[in-house]
Every structure is written in structure tokens, then in C-alpha cells.
Homo-oligomer: A and B are copies of this chain.
Amino acid sequence: MHVHTYICNVKLEEAIKSNKFRNEVHKAGLNILYTAWWLKTIISKELKEYGLTHEQYNVLRILKGRHPEQMCVKDIACRIIEKNSNVPRIIDRLELKKFVRRSASLNDKRETAIVLTPAGINILDIATAKVNKVFENFVVMDESSANTLNKLLEKIREKEK
């Protein structure tokens, strides 16, 4: 069932074929959900040719931040965007593809130490170049607008009105 094109409708009303929003805040909620789906989809499609999912790419990227140090699962989990991601299973698949290696942690035997392999570093570098191009080519925004957007997104997540 193919109900969308690669680049989707700019207007939210067209994307979800509705203009019944209770108010601008409600519309903003839907707009955030839709824009996140749009962005994730574009990135995922670019990563596909390297056999990586968006989630697997994120784990590799987090590991790179500490490389050549090892990281344990919980240190990856707390850096990931979608906090309920099942990190051990994402690592299972990266391990099968030989992009990471698991080993027992020496200081704490409960922990699993994970480290990038040379193949993992290599695929990450190539994939990152592609993802960066997504931002250059598809994400249309000047720095000052992006800064305003960042402030608004952090405002929306404040605890109390």
C-alpha cells in the first residue's frame, strides 16, 4: 500500500488531509509527530543501501563518540533518542554484521563492553556523510530559524504551564 511519495506534503493539512485542529498547540503536536516521521523516513532510506537501520546507525554513532574506548549497554541506552529502544537487540544485529564486538566487562561482570570494529568505523563514516547530505539537501532551514525552533521545542517540553 503506497500512499506517500518520497518527499511529502509541506502543509500538514495536506499531509494528513485534515484541517480540524483544536488550536495551534494541538496542531503543533501533530506537526512535530509528522515532521519526525518525515525526517526518520528520509534518513532510513538513505541508510538502506549500507544495510543499516536508523536505530543501528544511532548506536554506531554513540559508540564512535567514545571510540576507541568501550561502552556498556546502559551508557548507550541513556544517550539514545528514543529512550525505550531495546539496545541489546540492536547490538545483536550490529554484532551479526560484525560492526561491533561484545566482550565481558572486567571491572563489573554484569556489564557488557561494546566496541566498534574497523568495519563498523568504516560503515559509520560512509553513512554519516550520507546523513549529513540529508540535512544539507532536504532540511531547509537557516541557523537562526533553527535556533528559534530549538527554543520552542524545549519550551514545549517544560513541566508546568
Contact = CB atoms under 8 A, between A and B. Distances in A.
Interface of A: 1, 3-4, 7-8, 10-12, 15-18, 20, 22-41, 65, 73-74, 77-84, 87, 132, 135-150, 152-161
Contacts of A84: 4, 41
A34 to B, nearest CB: 5
Complex copy number for this chain: 2
A20 B135 CA distance: 16
A150 B31 contact: yes
B20 A77 contact: no
A115 to B, nearest CB: 19
Given A3-B77, A28-B146, A79-B16, A132 B22 contact: yes
Contacts of A148: 148, 152
Given A33-B36, A148-B148, A24 B143 contact: yes
Contacts of A139: 25, 28-29, 156
B17 A147 contact: no
Given A3-B83, A24-B147, 16 more contacts: A3-B74, A10-B157, A15-B81, A28-B139, A28-B149, A29-B39, A32-B39, A33-B82, A34-B81, A35-B157, A36-B37, A38-B157, A140-B155, A140-B161, A149-B152, A149-B156
